[in-house]
Amino acid sequence: MAETVAQSLSEELFALLQKERFLTLGTIDHESGAPSLSSISWVYAPNHHQVRFAVDNRSRIITNINHNPQVVLHLIGAGSSFAINGRARVAVEKMEGVPLKLAMVEITIETVRDVMFYGSRISVEPQYEKTYDKKAADKLDNQVMTALRSIAG
């Protein structure tokens, strides 16, 4: 399949990244040099050229990015599978207005590729549910997403 390559988010992908959603994040492990994969959900695109996410500031993700800023986000949506490659940086070490010690990472997008295998389409997007107190989860999600939107990059 000839992959579609862009240097920024399409309108459709941008719209998908305006609220919390399931994505996977690929980094380079700082010890082994091997690929490392993580699942994240507190994600937001402030514009078509950047994506932000929040993660515990003690996470291995942060250490990996500090050693090698090259990352890839994998987004399943809009009927396909997309690899969003870019360079990440820890923009905020401790986000304000959030009760957890979360860092805000900002990715500057270099390429967006449709990586779905030939002759296929995503018919059902991944879904997840929080397994702890629903009210507490909703409150925390709102705090984190508000902080991601309000931080000047």
The structural domains of the chain, with segments of one domain joined by +, span 5-150
State what percent of residues in the chain have pLDDT above 90. 89
Binned at pLDDT 50, 70 and 90, residue 3 comes out as low
Question: Residues 52-70: what's their mean pLDDT?
Answer: 98
Kindly report the backbone phi and psi dihedral angles of residue 87, in degrees, each rounded to the nearest multiple of 5, phi listed first: -115, 130
* Tokens read off for 36: 């490392």
Question: Residues 80-100: what's their mean pLDDT?
Answer: 96
Binned at pLDDT 50, 70 and 90, residue 1 comes out as very low
Question: Residues 113-138: what's their mean pLDDT?
Answer: 92
**Amino acid identity of 87?**
R
Binned at pLDDT 50, 70 and 90, residue 149 comes out as very high
Question: Residues 1-28: what's their mean pLDDT?
Answer: 91
**Amino acid identity of 67?**
H
Q: Is the pLDDT of residue 2 over 70?
A: no
56 close to 103: Cβ distance less than 8 angstroms:
yes
State what percent of residues in the chain have pLDDT above 70. 96
Please state, in angstroms and rounded to a whole number, the distance separating the CA atoms of residues 110 and 38: 20
Maximum C-alpha span of the chain:
46
Question: In this structure, how many other beta carbons lie within 10 angstroms of the beta carbon of residue 112?
Answer: 23
Q: What is the CATH number of domain 5-150?
A: 2.30.110.10
Provide the residue count of the chain.
153
Question: In this structure, how many other beta carbons lie within 10 angstroms of the beta carbon of residue 43?
Answer: 24
For the chain, what is the mean pLDDT? 94
Q: What is the pLDDT of residue 36?
A: 98
Q: Is the pLDDT of residue 17 over 60?
A: yes
